[in-house]
Amino acid sequence: FYMAATDPQVLALAAQITESREQDIPLLLLKLKGILSSPSLGCEESNKIKQDIYDYGLTQYCLLVLKRDHSQLRGAWATAAQLAEILSHCCVGLEVKEDPEEFYKKFLPSAVDSLLVLGKRLQARFIRAIKDKEKQDFLHWFQIVTDAICWLFGGHTQLAACVLQNDRFLQLLITDDVETAVIMMSVFHNILRIDSSVLLQVEEETLHSVLDELVYKLSSTTNPAVGSAATKLLLFMAKFCKQLVHLLTARYKGLKGLLCKQWTGKGFDRELNQLLDLLYLEQSNGKGEMQKQHQAACIIQAAWRGFQTRKRLKKLPQAVITLQRSFRAKREQELQHLTKQKEDEALKLQMQLQRQRAMRLFHERQLALLEVVHASQVNKYMEEMEDKSALTIQRFWRGYRARRIFHQQKQSLKEYKAAIIIQRAACKFLEKRRRRRPLSPWKEPKGLTDEQRLALQQKVDDYIKLHPASQMSEETSKELHMQAQAKLAQFLLRSRLDQRAAQRREALLAQVNTDVELLMNAPGLAETTEKDLGAFMSRSIPVATKARQTHNTMLQYARWPWWKKLGHEFMEDDVIPDDAINTELETLFIGGRK
């Protein structure tokens, strides 16, 4: 089959909106007005452009923008009113063939609801405005939005019932402002003119609320524009449905007297007389006093209901503001979470790319140096690079280990210094107190009396009788003496061995300190001579072999390609992996003698 080409203007606008920022989209959508109002378009071309606009999602963009906070848009309420007009023109004449249920049952009712919400906000701004220029602007934008609503349900007649049953339409109608009230009554009149049977489809409570508001406007104002619009609307409703005439006569019994006394000679006597004739025909000839009282009660009830409804509707904006505030806060949190997640992912990717780039640059630099260096000097150059790499690795490892040990001992060192300070203060305090205490004079011990001596001697004799001393032979005494002499000799021999071991430990510790000092004061590789090498040579073959194996292992790890080190890309630069270099500082050869 043959498919018509997409309009280039629509295609270019869709591409531009896709690549633009969110705050620039409303102003770009205003270009649809120029595309739709082109004088060279026929009926079929216009419908085709509307179909393209819907297929590329520009109509949905308009609806989404209308649901946002209009005060934050560029152009604010003027932009919102123009987008409402564009949305209604895009929907009228559009026949969706793919998924029509989505368009007719979800998209169009949502568009009507958004337009009514926009109209309610413009009406509130118009009422609160103080300057004449602001009131004229808001009234003009409100007229544009209401015209868009009329145009929308004029092209889709099934939306008339949707508009009339919407609670926001009743909120717009119930107002004390003259200009907006007249406009809303004209919108209601257009609804009835397009589909008069919509009155039979609405709920009884909604119909009563509408009639109560119209009767209240006739009874509470003297403005001819409001009275004319309300009278014409009631006349149109009464002509269409005879049941409404009976409802008006029974529910508002003082309506005829009100119309005759207050609205006669106001410039719309023809419509007023027709309405009165319909009401009088319905009313019976005999009217008693009870009917008059009932009529008065109905008017009072209508006024009270209107007052209560307006009072209840004044509280709705605060609830809407609270709901909007919570929704914006939640949306802001979600946006911040998504932004943070994207930043973390971008940072992680950037770090990975930087590591790969650095590794690649390192290998390229090595290849470039190998190209520059003569072939006979390659081995010497590689040995120098291996020596530098080994020294760098050892330097970083020793620094890291020293810092780690220092941090571990820092707290204990602090506690040790604090204990020394406390002990020093306590010793000083005790010394001062001991100096201040006077020395007591010498007192000779008291001697025992004769009675005490006799009693003490008696106790000693009794103890000796109860515990007689064991008799030991001379041979047993000699044997015990020999055992004591042997144990004494063993103790002296062991103490001599312990003293030698202590001297050996002190000598080894002094040797280690000398080797460390020698290594710290050693010159660099570039300044090393053959005489300096003798100080670092070891006569121990196992120690030299172990040092050579450790050095080769570190050089082999340094020469690994970058793809082998991907598992260690998140390690610190001064940390050597345990699986590559399985060595400790104790296994490395420091230098000096064995």
Whether residue 471 lies inside any domain: the answer is no
Same domain for 425 and 546?
no
Same domain for 550 and 412?
no
Same domain for 554 and 408?
no
Domain boundary among 398, 430, 462: 430
Same domain for 175 and 45?
yes
Whether residue 296 lies inside any domain: the answer is no
Whether residue 12 lies inside any domain: the answer is yes
Whether residue 366 lies inside any domain: the answer is no
Same domain for 426 and 551?
no
Domain boundary among 202, 225, 243: 202
Same domain for 57 and 184?
yes
Residue 194, judged by CB atoms within 10 A of its CB (0-12, 13-18, 19+), counts as: middle
Whether residue 522 lies inside any domain: the answer is no
What sign does the dihedral 252-217-235-158 (CA atoms) show? Answer: negative
User: Over its length of 594 residues, how does the chain's per-residue pLDDT go in tens digits?
Assistant: 333 556 777 777 778 777 777 777 777 777 777 777 765 555 777 777 777 777 777 777 787 777 776 666 666 788 888 888 888 888 887 777 777 778 788 888 888 888 888 888 888 888 888 888 888 888 888 888 888 888 887 777 787 778 888 888 888 888 888 888 888 888 888 888 887 777 777 788 888 888 888 888 888 888 888 888 888 888 888 887 777 777 777 788 778 788 888 888 878 878 888 888 777 776 654 455 557 777 888 999 999 999 998 888 888 888 888 888 999 999 999 999 999 999 999 999 999 999 999 889 988 887 887 777 777 777 887 888 889 889 999 999 999 999 888 888 888 888 889 999 999 999 999 999 888 876 555 556 667 788 888 999 999 888 888 887 666 778 888 888 899 999 998 998 899 899 989 998 898 888 888 878 877 877 777 777 777 766 666 556 676 777 788 888 888 888 888 777 665 544 444 444 554 444 433 333 344 433
Q: Which three-class secondary structure string do you get for 473-529?
A: CHHHHHHHHHHHHHHHHHHHHHHHHHHHHHHHHHHHHHHHHHHHHHHHCCCCHHHCC
Read out DSSP for 403-422?
A: HHHHHHHHHHHHHHHHHHHH
Q: Which stretches within 283-377 are classed as H helix? A: 289-314, 316-372
| Pairwise CA distance, residues 249 & 254, whole Å | 9
Q: Which domain holds residue 577?
A: 540-586
Domain boundary among 178, 202, 226: 202
Whether residue 151 lies inside any domain: the answer is yes
Q: Which structure tokens are listed for 277?
A: 């004739």
Q: Which structure tokens are listed for 501?
A: 């071991």
Whether residue 377 lies inside any domain: the answer is no
Whether residue 480 lies inside any domain: the answer is no
Same domain for 554 and 411?
no
Total domain count, the chain: 3
